[in-house]
């Protein structure tokens, strides 16, 4: 197993934002113009941008236009460079009394990752993750095009 990220980026971590979009091509064009760089990965229903400045991992995940209950943001995350950094996040969350979901060696968003999920007090889902393999042939299907679990509930613990 890798001891480092399969993906290189500036610093030791970067923000990850996964957006639900109804018109993938239109959104792709917009974000390519906004960020000034082309996508680094494109698959059916999925586009990924990884500009160096600002350092961000932005994914666009196409959703069905007939789904009127969709949320514009699917989830947020922090991409780190080592499995140890994921473990440190698990420990921090546990010590704060937050409910988590840990996924090891999981295939999602066309990459193999170790990750931990947690929700903020408003229910926004966050993942801390490391990419172990940058390009996998398939994407996990758990009812969401970008592998966002619906398990996470905000903890009653006082944090932060």
Report the SS3 class of residue 101: strand
Please report the pLDDT score of residue 144 as a whole number: 43
Please report the pLDDT score of residue 156 as a whole number: 42
Closest CA to 59 of 11, 89, 15: 15
Q: Are 86 and 1 in contact (CB under 8 A)?
A: no
- Structural domain containing residue 67: 13-133
What is d(CA 36, CA 39) in angstroms, rounded to the nearest whole number?
A: 10
| Residue 2 belongs to a domain | no
Domain count, the chain: 1
Report the SS3 class of residue 62: strand
| Residue 118 belongs to a domain | yes
| Residue 150 belongs to a domain | no
pLDDT per position as a tens digit, 97-119: 889 999 999 988 788 999 999 88
**CATH code: domain of residue 111:** 3.10.180.10
Confidence grade of residue 136 (pLDDT, cut at 50, 70, 90): confident
| Residue 1 belongs to a domain | no
What is d(CA 160, CA 130) in angstroms, rounded to the nearest whole number?
A: 23
What is d(CA 83, CA 131) in angstroms, rounded to the nearest whole number?
A: 9
Closest CA to 119 of 59, 62, 160: 160
Please report the pLDDT score of residue 41 as a whole number: 95
| Residue 139 belongs to a domain | no
Task: Name the strands in the sheet holding 56-62, side by side, starting at the edge strand that comes first in the sequence.
Answer: 41-43, 46-49, 56-62, 13-21, 73-80, 125-133, 111-119, 101-108
Confidence grade of residue 48 (pLDDT, cut at 50, 70, 90): very high
Cis previous bond, 54, omega within 30? yes
Element (H, E) at 116: strand 111-119
| Residue 81 belongs to a domain | yes
Confidence grade of residue 150 (pLDDT, cut at 50, 70, 90): low
Compute the mean pLDDT over every residue in the chain, rounded to the nearest whole number.
Answer: 82
| Residue 62 belongs to a domain | yes
Mean pLDDT of 135-147: 58
């Amino acid at each position: 197993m890798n001891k480092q990220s399969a993906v290189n980026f500036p610093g030791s971590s970067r923000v990850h934002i996964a957006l639900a979009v109804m018109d993938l091509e239109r959104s792709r064009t917009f974000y390519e113009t906004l960020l000034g760089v082309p996508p680094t990965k494109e698959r059916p229903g999925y586009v990924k941008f990884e500009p160096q400045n600002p350092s961000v991992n932005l994914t666009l995940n196409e959703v069905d236009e007939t789904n009127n209950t969709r949320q514009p943001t699917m989830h947020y995350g922090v991409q780190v460079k080592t499995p140890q950094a994921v473990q440190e996040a698990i420990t921090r969350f546990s010590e704060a009394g937050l409910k988590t979901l840990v996924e090891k060696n999981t295939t999602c968003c066309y990459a193999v990752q170790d990750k931990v999920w947690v929700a903020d007090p408003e229910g926004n889902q966050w993942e801390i993750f490391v990419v172990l393999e940058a390009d996998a042939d398939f994407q996990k299907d758990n009812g969401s095009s970008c592998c966002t679990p619906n398990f996470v509930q905000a903890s009653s613990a006082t944090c932060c």
